Amino acid sequence: MQPEFLIIHQQVATHVAHIQLNRPEALNALNLQLMSELKDALKALDADPQVRAVVLSGNEKAFAAGADITQMAGKSAIDMYNTDQFSTWDAIKKTKKPLIAAVSGFALGGGCELAMLCDMIVASETARFGQPEIKIGVMPGAGGTQRLTRAIGKARAMEMVLTGRFITAEEALAAGLINRVTPVALYLEEAVKLAKEVAVMSPLAVKMAKEAVLKAFDSSLEEGLHFERRNFYLLFASEDQKEGMQAFLEKRAPAFKGE
Ligand code: DAK
């Protein structure tokens, strides 16, 4: 079934797919249906061998202005518990292929959390990142206190979470939250360019390297190094390792197959 709130481009460049959040009338507020569609779309792209990297964007005005407040406003704690939005977010988090967020305009609350759940972020000059949940009487619920703090440090995260202040793309770049800032006309193109750079690498090595970098967030250094070593050895079981090293020795470009 066609998603209502997403536009999916299976191939915007070689081995690169693009998912656009498409609920512009509500600044791409992340309602339950949109998140469920996103989960399904990412699952399908993750399983598609033609796809090696995925760009996730909104539109120029908003990446996403947060979870849908109209859907949450009247809910009880038990309603929230029963809705179990976390299973959707957890499934998205399990995407093995690299996700690159292309952010323009608002990335707020759940929108900022969704961008941070991606592996890299390219932003337009108009991008504004924020965790304004405090202004509506709650607090971040999908990683905003954790991923933001790890990315930009306690002082800046605490200020954003406790005051709801937005930061600009330039501030986000200086703080280490994002990878690049571009003029508005170029942010999507730049994100696709970055995705293409990743998509020419061995897809197996990319997935295992992503997994190992993410391991740094929830393990001790010793455990993380052990995990890294395991994946490093494992890649020597791949044809791509043979191809990559042979291509280097033969002074030619490698042709990776993901095997
Ligand atoms: N939800 C629903 N509708 C929203 C929305 C949102 N988050 N943000 C904007 N809209 C709607 C507006 O209501 C308006 O709709 P109409 O009145 O035209 O029908 C339309 O989008 C345009 O918005 P504005 O007229 O307000 O546009 P402005 O340019 O004046 O202001 C703004 C833009 C982004 C500053 C403002 O719209 C705003 O403050 N929006 C709310 C931002 C916010 O508080 N975001 C955090 C929401 S809480 C969880 C996962 C995630 C979360 C929680 C749990 N689990 C896994 C359990 C996340 C929670 C949140 O994100």
pLDDT digits (tens, 9 = 90+) for 132-153: 999 999 999 999 999 999 999 9
Residue nearest to atom 19 of ligand 1 (CA): 26
Residue nearest to atom 17 of ligand 1 (CA): 26
State the span(s) of the chain assigned CATH 1.10.12.10. Answer: 203-249
Q: How far is the CA of 34 from the centre of ligand 1 (A)?
A: 14
Q: What is the CATH number of domain 203-249?
A: 1.10.12.10
Q: Does the pLDDT value for residue 1 go beyond 90?
A: no
pLDDT at 175: 97
Residue among 23, 25, 27 whose CB has most ligand 1 atoms within 8 A, to mutate: 27
The label of the residue with tokens 């360019």 reads 193
Do 88 and 35 meet the contact criterion of CB atoms below 8 Å apart?
A: yes
Q: How far is the CA of 49 from the centre of ligand 1 (A)?
A: 36
- CA dist 133 and 135 (Å) reads 5
Of ligand 1's listed atoms, the one at least distance from the Cα of 67 is 61
Q: How far is the CA of 64 from the centre of ligand 1 (A)?
A: 8
- CA dist 57 and 115 (Å) reads 9
Residue nearest to atom 51 of ligand 1 (CA): 110
Do 57 and 188 meet the contact criterion of CB atoms below 8 Å apart?
A: yes
Catalytic status, residue 110 = yes
The answer, as to whether pTM is greater than 0.95, is yes
- CA dist 110 and 108 (Å) reads 6
User: 6-199 falls under which CATH superfamily?
Assistant: 2-enoyl-CoA Hydratase; Chain A, domain 1 (3.90.226.10)
Residues framing ligand 1 (Cβ under 6 A):
26-27, 29, 65-70, 85-86, 89, 106, 108-110, 113, 132-133, 136, 141-142
The label of the residue with tokens 């949450």 reads 72
Q: How far is the CA of 214 from the centre of ligand 1 (A)?
A: 29
Of ligand 1's listed atoms, the one at least distance from the Cα of 85 is 56
Do 70 and 33 meet the contact criterion of CB atoms below 8 Å apart?
A: no
Residue nearest to atom 42 of ligand 1 (CA): 65
Average pLDDT over residues 14-19: 98
Q: pLDDT digit string (tens) for 66-121?
A: 999 999 999 999 999 998 889 999 999 999 999 999 999 999 999 999 999 999 99
- CA dist 64 and 70 (Å) reads 15
Catalytic status, residue 113 = yes
pLDDT at 158: 98
pLDDT at 84: 87
State the span(s) of the chain assigned CATH 3.90.226.10. Answer: 6-199
3-state secondary structure labels for all residues of the chain: CCCCCEEEEEEEECCEEEEEECCHHHCCCECHHHHHHHHHHHHHHHHCCCCCEEEEECCCCEEECCECHHHHCCCCHHHHHHHCHHHHHHHHHCCCCCEEEEECCEEECHHHHHHHHCCEEEEECCCEEECHHHHHCCCCCCCCCCHHHHHHCHHHHHHHHHHCCCEEHHHHHHHCCCCEEECHHHHHHHHHHHHHHHHCCCHHHHHHHHHHHHHCCCCCHHHHHHHHHHHHHHHCCCHHHHHHHHHHHCCCCCCCCCC
pLDDT at 143: 94
Q: How far is the CA of 191 from the centre of ligand 1 (A)?
A: 25
Contacting residues for 249 by C-beta, under 8 A, at least 6 apart = none
